[in-house]
Structure 1
């Protein structure tokens, strides 16, 4: 039987995160001078030269104000994958995990951009959202997800597919922070692997990831 991620009623952590992101997005649209991406996004020169150490936190709440696609897809994925996770982990631990993966994704963005000489603002919740995707795949590895709403694929392979794609797209220069996506996934993987006994995540996720009979 094929199953989609459990949507259900919105959970309190997800609700508060979406409200916070939407509020900041509206402030960006109507009072853009208050939410300067050079101050609140990740900019290596500002972090190093002016000690804007809050940027790996605040960048998660900013999205491109030129359209609705950026924030919509991030919030949709957060709701789709995060609802059941929050019920499983509890709101406090879920929020801790969300911010941990988002901040570590921000650190990876800072290091990568510094090394690559990229000194423009990076914004968006995508790093944390990709951390949520990794957690969903680890808690519910055999749950089916519909790729592009058409093709069923198990969550563990869905996460692997996106991880490989993000890695391959690192040098693309397409204006998307693939290192942030990858950083969020890697941070989530190692955090949950360290705590998998506590969360009851089966060892089969690590020992028997590939089973010939159930790739799809």
Structure 2
């Protein structure tokens, strides 16, 4: 509950401004411009690699991330200073991008090859991407593959979660004996145990999947990427 530090304050302001702009201009248009898209999608632009870190999918998403940024970021910035904190923050965000897109680039070509081998052409897939539906008979396995490929191709990644996971890991390394609690499980657990549990949950969920939160799917591998980079730094 320390006084907010300067860099954290400015990051909070930028995130809030981007959220308000999203509400005023329109989510669809703003997401097309600034959310991170799969690079093979025609809507992808290079600046999205950074701008998506300041985008959020709803007020609860924004509130949760900004609360975590204020709580852990202030403590970490006080220890590291503004310049090192910014390096940590953006490097963790880039790590999140590398991990999530890395997983997508493993899965997407595999799905395309499997679909082509079963008789679904690239042209048919492109038509599905445009219209969101297909007008030819498919097997249950093909349906599952088409849906997965469609979700990757049209996915949008938003949020500061990858950056904050890096900050959270840094907080745990700097303050290993600080006691943390989940709001819905008010049992104090030392950071050196609590944070690995959170990262472990993301790894398991990345393999198995998990329900959406705040009406949004969670990019678990992005969280893992941010945490790994935070650990390295």
Q: 1:180, 1:129 → 2: CA distance? A: 11
Q: 1:50, 1:70 → 2: CA distance? A: 23
> For residues 114-142 of structure 1, what are the alpha-carbon distances to aligned partners after superposition, in whole Å with 9 as ceiling and x for unaligned?
33331211111000011111000011111
Cα drift, residue 189 of structure 1: 0.7
Cα drift, residue 50 of structure 1: 7.0
Distance 1:172 1:29, change over 3 A: same
How many residues get paired? 182
Among 17, 25, 35, which residue is 1:31 paired with? 25
Q: 2:46, 2:3 → 1: CA distance? A: 36
Q: Which residue of 1 aligns with 2:144?
A: none
Would the aligned equivalents of 2:32 and 2:43 in 1 still touch at CA under 8 Å? no
Question: How big is the alpha-carbon RMSD for the aligned residues of Structure 1 and Structure 2?
Answer: 1.9
Would the aligned equivalents of 2:172 and 2:191 in 1 still touch at CA under 8 Å? yes
Distance 1:41 1:104, change over 3 A: same
Q: Which residue of 1 aligns with 2:222?
A: 180
Does residue 55 of structure 1 match 2:97?
no
Say which one has the larger Rg.
Answer: 2
- Structure 1's consecutive aligned runs of 4 or more residues displaced over 4 angstroms after TM superposition are none
Among 155, 163, 167, which residue is 1:128 paired with? 163
Would the aligned equivalents of 2:36 and 2:44 in 1 still touch at CA under 8 Å? no
Among 1, 8, 14, which residue is 1:14 paired with? 8
Q: Which residue of 2 aligns with 1:87?
A: 78
Q: Which residue of 2 aligns with 1:74?
A: 65
Q: Which residue of 2 aligns with 1:160?
A: 196
Q: Which residue of 2 aligns with 1:41?
A: 35
Bigger relative contact order, structure 1 or 2 (CA pairs below 8 A, ≥6 apart): 2
